[in-house]
Amino acid sequence: GAVVSQHPSWVICKSGTSVKIECRSLDFQATTMFWYRQFPKQSLMLMATSNEGSKATYEQGVEKDKFLINHASLTLSTLTVTSAHPEDSSFYICSSQTGGNTGELFFGEGSRLTVL
């Protein structure tokens, strides 16, 4: 199956710093990348949908200035959590689809962010 590589897997940072998470599609062109956040014992919550070469579409309640998304190429999308605070601590996951019609989503490995 298609592979989405996400980095870093774990990150611990101080409050007020910014953290960048990268997702790369290794064997297909990811025109669209979905970014999710998952708090403990809760389901995935879609934060935003990024499209290569254009601005991301953010879900209601997600601050675009706090969660900066860049999708400059067909194989790389990044999420930057700016001025992170403890309440931003969460599991962040990206996913994408291949160009086929299966509809299947391929997920990155996830990034666990802990803000002290």
Partner 1 sequence: RKEVEQDPGPFNVPEGATVAFNCTYSNSASQSFFWYRQDCRKEPKLLMSVYSSGNEDGRFTAQLNRASQYISLLIRDSKLSDSATYLCVVNKAGNQFYFGTGTSLTVIP
- Provide the binding-site residues for partner 1, judged by CB under 8 A: 1, 6, 32, 34, 42-44, 46, 49, 91, 93, 97, 102-105, 107-110, 112
Give 101's contacts (C-beta < 8 A, 6+ positions apart). none
Least distance (Å) between residue 109 CB and partner 1: 5
Q: Which amino acid is at 64?
A: K
- CB-wise, 78 or 95, nearer to partner 1? 95
We find the least distance from the C-beta atom of residue 17 to partner 1, in angstroms, to be: 23
Token pair 């999420």: residue: 79
- How far is Cα of residue 20 from the mean position of the Cα atoms in its chain? 9
- 113 is written with which tokens? 């962010």
Q: Which is nearer to partner 1, 9 or 18 (CB)?
A: 9
